[in-house]
Amino acid sequence: MPPIFEITFVTYIAAAATYVIYFVNQNKKVRSAARMTLVVGGILHTIELIIRYFVVGHTPITSMHESVSFFAWSMTWGFLVFRWRYRVKNFGTFVSLGIALLMLVASMSSHQIIPLPPALRSKWLPVHASIALLANAFLALGFCGGIMYLLQEREIKARRFGLFYSRLPSLEALDNLNHHCLAIGFPLLTLGIITGSIWAKQAWGAFWQWDPKETWSLVTWFIYAALLHFRFTMGWRRRRAAIMSIIGFGACLFTLWGVTYLLGGLHSYAG
């Protein structure tokens, strides 16, 4: 297999580095270069996933390496599609750093192809896993928005303007970003849990067995549900919403990694 994953990884790092340079000097040419590099990275990544699909013989979404790589791929395209619909100043810097970090994790996990256990041989595998990871990607974008919100708010509140005040968009725009990410991520998360449950019924004969991964995805779901609920009833917007989306994403990551490494359970063979 050609080292296409490594090439993709390096391209993403280059994109993130260029975005960081753009963030500092705010030169529009640098931004175009960064964006082009990210698009190239996204295309290479797509090719890599297709090749891996044919090499392993099923959707490459089962091992830790595969699932995190798919997570990063979703985040890249989620961002690029998002950007096409509406723009958030300097969002790319934060997102590209996130993507590069995910790719770092993916590159450090074993690339070995694991033969698919019989329980996973189902048409529900690509459906459930890709929806769940896509949900993660949008919630990760919301997490970036939350971080940006807190950075911007801190400078406005402290009345001392440093690196971020002029570079980050308005608090309103960042809050909207957070909400939009949630508006896409939350239904996907719900759908991910439902499809998982249907698949569980098919594979193990029960919709819900309270295995750690199921439990933690439910915890994550409740955090985001609470955020949405209170947003409309109590005005949990802005700062509180930003903090909640950061906590929620923490729960997402724990569901993805923490459960696998710390708690085990039925999902432990998968990512």
Binding residues for another protein, per CB under 8 A? Answer: 152, 156-157, 159-161, 165-166, 169-173, 176, 234-240
* Helix-then-strand count for the chain, H and E: 8, 0
Q: How far is the CB of 211 from another protein (least distance, A)?
A: 38
Q: What Rg do the C-alpha atoms of the chain give, in angstroms?
A: 19
| In the complex, minimum distance from the CB of residue 169 to another protein, in angstroms, rounded to a whole number | 8
Nearer to another protein, 111 or 167 (CB): 167
Burial 155-174 (b: 16+ CB within 10 A, else e): beeeeeeeebeebbbebebb
- 151 Cβ contact partners less than 8 Å away, ≥ 6 residues apart: 164, 168
Supply the minimum distance, in Å, between the C-beta of residue 168 and another protein.
9
Helix axes 238-253, 212-233, angle to 10 degrees: 170
> To the nearest whole angstrom, how small is the minimum distance from the Cβ of residue 153 to another protein?
9
**How many other C-beta atoms are found inside a 10 Å radius of the C-beta of residue 110?**
9
CB 250 within 8 A of CB 207: no
Complex with another protein: residue 165 or 261, whichever CB lies closer: 165
- The residue count of the chain comes to 271
CB of 223 to another protein, least distance (A): 19
Q: From the CB of residue 235, how many other CB atoms can be counted at a distance below 10 Å?
A: 10
Are residues 92 and 79 in contact, defined by beta-carbon separation less than 8 angstroms? yes
Both tokens of 259, joined, read 């459960």
Our CB check for another protein shows the closer of 158 and 262 to be 158
Question: Which element (helix H / strand E) includes 95?
Answer: helix 91-108
The smaller minimum CB distance to another protein, of residues 61 and 241, is found at: 241
Nearer Cβ to another protein (110/233): 233
Task: Supply the minimum distance, in Å, between the C-beta of residue 156 and another protein.
Answer: 6
Q: Which is nearer to another protein, 54 or 157 (CB)?
A: 157
Nearest to another protein of 80, 156 (CB atom): 156
Q: How far is the CB of 200 from another protein (least distance, A)?
A: 40
